[in-house]
Each structure stands twice: as structure tokens, then as C-alpha cells.
């Protein structure tokens, strides 16, 4: 189970990263996004069958629950919330932060390999603080560009009025 979880998580990391380079709202965006969401769903489901780190329910399981909520809210907007004003920005933020959370989870697995003398807060900052700060910087730096490209693609992909 752990090997499958790892492989599918890598697929999520790749597809989640690649999607930032494509125009939003296009068929390519939807296909890559589907790959990301499916990979994340499988990764999150399999995470609940991995108990060797904590000998039971642990911190990673709690984070999996939070990630399920983050992705579910992110996917609500394009699937059911298109009537909500500004839904693309909501989708962008929730999905982007789900990707940041994936990196935080990934780096958390390496805390045990950090220098033994480091205090827990330093290890936590490396695994959680740095990805959150860098991810937030990228998300906010690209916010306007993402929304503009999404809006343009959405208008171009709208079916003609009959």
C-alpha cells in the first residue's frame, strides 16, 4: 500500500505542478486537473491504510482529512458553484493551497532525516513554513495572470448561443 501511495502521490505532485503552466479553463487544464484530483483522491484514500508511522491514527491522517476538505471545496466551484460570483478565484486558491499542502506532506516525511540537533520548530519550519511561504508567494504573484487567462479561455470555450 505504501508503494502505491507514494507513486500516486508523485503523480499528483507532477500533475499539480504542470497545471500551473497551462491556460486555465481549457480542455488541457481540465484533463491535467482531473489527473491531479484523481491522484490526490487515491493518495488520500490510501493514506488511511498506512499506520506504520504512528501505530494507529496520527498527524498525517488528520492532514489527509484537511486535504480532502481543501480539494472538495476547490472542486465545488467548477462543478457546482459556477453561479457564484468570482468562482474561478475561489477554485484557484483552494486548489493551489491543496498543492502547497501536498508539498508540506511530502517534506514532512523527511523530518526524521534532518539534523538530530535541530529543534522541532526548525524542522517544522523547513517542512511546513518554507513551502507555505514560497507557495503563497507564487499563488499571489500569479493570481491576476491566472484569472485573466482563465477568463479568456472560458470565453473562447463557451458554446455559441442558439
Query: How sure is the predictor about 159, in pLDDT bands with cuts at 50, 70 and 90?
Result: very low
* CA dihedral of residues 74, 137, 36, 3 (deg, nearest 10): -120
pLDDT of the residue at 54? 63
pLDDT digits (tens, 9 = 90+) for 54-102: 677 777 888 899 999 999 999 999 999 999 988 889 999 999 999 999 9
pLDDT of the residue at 152? 63
pLDDT digits (tens, 9 = 90+) for 29-47: 999 999 999 999 999 999 8
pLDDT of the residue at 91? 93
Helices (H), ranges, the chain: 2-18, 27-47, 59-80, 87-108, 120-124, 130-157
Single pTM value for the model: 0.85
Rounded distance between C-alpha atoms, residue 31 and residue 19, angstroms: 9
- CB burial class (10 A; 0-12, 13-18, 19+) of residue 14? middle
pLDDT of the residue at 42? 96
State yes or no: pLDDT of 148 exceeds 70.
yes
Rounded distance between C-alpha atoms, residue 133 and residue 114, angstroms: 20
Amino acid at each position: 500500500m505504501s508503494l502505491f501511495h507514494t507513486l500516486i502521490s508523485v503523480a499528483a505532485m507532477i500533475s499539480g505542478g504542470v497545471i500551473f503552466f497551462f491556460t486555465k479553463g481549457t480542455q488541457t487544464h481540465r484533463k491535467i486537473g482531473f489527473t491531479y484530483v484523481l491522484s490526490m483522491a487515491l493518495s488520500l484514500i490510501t493514506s488511511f491504510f498506512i499506520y506504520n508511522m504512528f501505530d494507529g491514527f496520527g498527524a498525517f491522517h488528520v492532514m489527509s482529512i484537511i486535504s480532502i476538505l481543501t480539494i472538495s471545496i476547490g472542486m465545488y466551484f467548477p462543478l457546482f458553484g459556477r453561479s457564484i460570483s468570482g468562482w474561478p478565484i475561489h477554485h484557484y486558491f483552494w486548489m493551489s493551497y491543496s498543492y502547497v499542502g501536498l508539498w508540506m506532506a511530502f517534506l514532512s516525511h523527511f523530518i526524521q532525516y534532518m539534523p538530530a540537533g535541530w529543534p522541532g520548530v526548525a524542522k517544522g519550519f523547513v517542512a511546513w513554513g518554507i513551502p507555505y511561504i514560497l507557495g503563497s508567494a507564487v499563488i499571489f504573484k500569479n493570481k491576476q495572470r491566472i484569472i485573466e487567462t482563465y477568463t479568456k479561455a472560458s470565453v473562447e470555450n463557451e458554446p455559441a448561443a442558439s
